[in-house]
Amino acid sequence: MHHFTYVGSNLHCESVDLAEIARLYGTPTYVYSATTLADNYTRLANGLAGLDVQVCYAQKANANIAILRHFANLGAGFDLVSGGEIRRVLAAGADVKRSVFAGVGKTEPEIKLALENEIFAFHVESEPEIARINHVAGKLGVKAPIAIRINPDVDAKTHAKITTGKSENKFGIPLKQAGAAYEAAAKYPNIFIKGVQMHIGSQLTSVAPFVEAVTKVVPFVEELKAKYGITYFSIGGGIGIVYQDALASGQQAWWDAQPAETRPITPEAYGAALAPLLKPLGLKILLEPGRNMVGNAGVLLSRVEYLKRGEGRNFLIIDAAMNDLARPAMYDSYHEIVPLHRDTARRAFTADVVGPICESGDCFAKQRPLQEIGEGEYIAFMSAGAYGFSMASRYNTRNLAAEVLVKGGSFELINARETFEQQIANEKIPAFLKA
């Protein structure tokens, strides 16, 4: 569910006409719905009824500090994977003490920063990492709280580039080796064993892989609780969102019309399936959602530059590009594309929707059926709130897009469009080239 819908002929975010934002701030521009963000958080936090749940939003999905502050105000902690992400939480005025530090390549300065800000726990990915955390904690004279990430070797049935829970993935320690890893960790003087963690992948559309993974790991969790007195079990994130029919999915009627066997996973279905498996543990349960929190809460606005009619093929050339939204080029992912002004009197046509970058891969959709649309008009990429701006680049010396947050009938710029001067501010020509 989300708060993007047509009011009359114009696409709105909550009560704001998106064309007004496009005209005021230009394009490409990301727009996020504060109400959708809050709804997504609340539904997931309440989905595991009867359990002590801590939601740690996976910042990598969308790291704007306004969004971090919004989630912090709602009660969220954060799932962090770099020192920069720790600093973003601090810049947002949020609390690192409710956050976890994950990632396979933590550096000593990053570990030090996390410890100095009293991180809730490190999610450890390897035995050498345990030794490094112990070393840094020892120099600071503290004990570092850790949970080891278990790789349960479960196929999440998702895209190959976003699966994380199989034995060939780089993440975590295999379940068969995890017991020995915990025994080794217990011998370090500056390590405090606090929990256990797993995460099997992203954009899962069925609850079955979650159930399989939790069922597989629960006996080991019970052993850890008895032996080390762990206090929490993190089951990661990964609940998928709707990309196909994304606009319609904002309406309850669309959900009601979906056949039960193909209905997208919801926080309620997720909670109903997992709560019975988790309640007997008597532990705090951490969730680390990213895409599910922000994906359908954001759109990318773009302006049509040209309609190029080729031989048997049309090209809709827009001002957004693969540097603004990398997912289609990187994953062959689908984003629904809709006009900001819907005109049912116009005829339909088919076009490749492409950006201006000098790469054939700068293509958002091939042979996409659309309302005929022309130069100067605006379109929106739906479900673009996750891994949109956070994965953006400056390729072809293109400035980073603007970002706007909407709440009700109000909106505010939360990240101004980058300027060329800001792009090159840290570059210099050496003296030996100036002669």
Catalytic residues: 358
Alpha carbon 135 to chain centroid distance?
32
CA atoms within 13 A on the CB side of 313: 8
* Ordered DSSP codes for 235-274: ----B----TTTTGGGSHHHHHHS-TTTPPP-HHHHHHHH
Tokens of residue 366, six digits: 């091939």
**Residue 290 in marked binding region:** yes
Tokens for 225, please give them.
Answer: 């609780």
346 annotated ligand binder: no
Where are the strands (E) in 160-297, listed by range?
A: 173-174, 191-197, 232-234, 284-287
* Residue 188 assigned ligand-binding role: no
Does the annotation place 418 within a ligand binding site? no
Is the peptide bond preceding residue 152 cis, with omega within 30 degrees of 0?
A: no
Query: Comparing C-alpha atoms, which of 232, 286, 246 is closest to residue 78?
Result: 286
Is 109 flagged in the annotation as binding?
no
8 A C-beta contact, residue 86 and residue 65? no
291 is in an annotated binding site: yes
Q: Tell me: is residue 331 an annotated ligand-binding position.
A: yes
The DSSP element (H or E) to which 357 belongs, if any, is none
Query: CA-to-CA distance for 127 and 135, rounded, in angstroms?
Result: 13
**DSSP character for 367?**
E
Is 229 annotated to bind a ligand? Reply is no
User: Which residue type is seen at 375?
Assistant: E
85 is an annotated ligand-binding site residue: no
- Show binding-site residues for substrate: 291, 327, 331, 359, 387
- Show binding-site residues: 238, 288-291, 327, 331, 359, 387
- Show binding-site residues for pyridoxal 5'-phosphate: 238, 288-291, 387
